[in-house]
């Protein structure tokens, strides 16, 4: 009997970050990620998640994210969106998700993400992340890490990037060091994303979706 191929979690993260970096909208990017991850996760688990509306999530979170950025406008230049182990309050599981505003002072993310002090966290609620966390709780052991790692990270990256639309801040998405559950071995913990840039007016949503899907 053939042994299953080990999952390359580093490659999985690189895949979702590549889509999140260039997506024209959060939902278009999410659909492209689902196409990519289908071969790793399987149709049974990816198809129900592919219909999630991340544009709606980003719009709901935008006001709070902008308020965090404005509150200390002169002191901060970077928004760090963090993920930690899901919360179960007895009625269901919810994703642990927050944003913190920091001053990076021009340093690389590899440097400031290792600072010993913890910035003030502002907790966020994402319907899409909640849905993924609940699906992970039902998934078999071999599928669960992909849902909890690359799919959660991809959804958080897209939602965070578009929730910060219009802000000049650097954007980092990370699994907290005190995430609560060990990350897969050799899996990256964080990634920096480029802020959303305006697209040329003659590029349609359909054209952008095709660009994303042809990279699969």
Q: Find the length of the chain.
A: 216
What whole-number distance in Å separates Cα of residue 24 and Cα of residue 126? 20
What whole-number distance in Å separates Cα of residue 74 and Cα of residue 213? 40
Q: Report whether 12 contacts 150 (CB < 8 A).
A: yes
Q: Is the pLDDT of residue 114 over 70?
A: yes
Give the closest residue to 58 by CA, choosing from 143, 158, 181: 158
Give DSSP secondary structure letters for 107-124.
Answer: --HHHHTT-SSPPPPEE-
Give the closest residue to 51 by CA, choosing from 24, 31, 35: 31
Does residue 207 belong to any structural domain of this protein?
yes
The percentage of residues in the chain with a pLDDT greater than 90, rounded to a whole number, is 53
Does residue 170 belong to any structural domain of this protein?
yes
Does residue 2 belong to any structural domain of this protein?
no
Q: Is the pLDDT of residue 73 over 60?
A: yes
Structure tokens at 27: 């939902």
**Residue ranges making up the domain that contains 126:** 9-213
Does residue 39 belong to any structural domain of this protein?
yes
Does residue 140 belong to any structural domain of this protein?
yes
**pLDDT reported for residue 85:** 80
Exposed/middle/buried for 3, CB within 10 Å: 0-12, 13-18, 19+?
exposed
Q: Dump pLDDT digits (tens) for 7-30.
A: 788 888 889 999 999 999 999 999
Q: Dump pLDDT digits (tens) for 18-64.
A: 999 999 999 999 999 999 999 888 999 999 999 999 999 999 999 99
Q: Is the pLDDT of residue 207 over 60?
A: no
Does residue 103 belong to any structural domain of this protein?
yes
Does residue 187 belong to any structural domain of this protein?
yes
**pLDDT reported for residue 5:** 63
Q: Dump pLDDT digits (tens) for 129-172.
A: 999 999 988 899 888 888 989 999 999 999 999 999 999 999 99
Q: Is the pLDDT of residue 216 over 70?
A: no
Q: Is the pLDDT of residue 110 over 70?
A: yes
Does residue 160 belong to any structural domain of this protein?
yes
What whole-number distance in Å separates Cα of residue 35 and Cα of residue 47? 9
What whole-number distance in Å separates Cα of residue 13 and Cα of residue 17? 6
């Amino acid at each position: 009997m053939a042994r299953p191929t080990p999952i390359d979690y580093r490659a999985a993260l690189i895949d979702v970050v590549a889509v999140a970096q260039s997506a024209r909208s959060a939902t278009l990017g999410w659909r492209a990620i689902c196409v990519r991850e289908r071969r790793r996760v399987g149709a049974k688990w990816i198809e129900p998640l592919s219909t999630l509306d991340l544009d709606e999530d980003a719009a709901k979170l935008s006001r709070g994210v902008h308020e965090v950025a404005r509150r200390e406008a002169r002191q901060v230049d970077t928004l760090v969106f963090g993920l930690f182990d899901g919360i179960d309050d007895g009625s269901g599981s919810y994703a642990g998700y927050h944003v913190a505003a920091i001053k990076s002072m021009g340093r690389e993310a590899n440097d400031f993400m290792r600072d010993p002090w913890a910035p003030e966290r502002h907790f966020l609620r994402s319907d899409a992340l909640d849905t993924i966390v609940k699906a992970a709780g039902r998934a078999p052991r071999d599928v669960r890490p992909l849902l909890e790692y690359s799919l959660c990270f991809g959804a958080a990256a897209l939602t965070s990037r578009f929730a910060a639309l219009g802000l000049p801040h650097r954007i980092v998405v990370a699994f907290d060091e005190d995430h609560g559950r060990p990350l897969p071995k050799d899996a990256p913990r964080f990634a920096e994303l480029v802020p959303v840039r305006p697209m040329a007016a003659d590029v349609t949503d359909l054209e952008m979706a095709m660009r994303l899907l042809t990279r699969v």
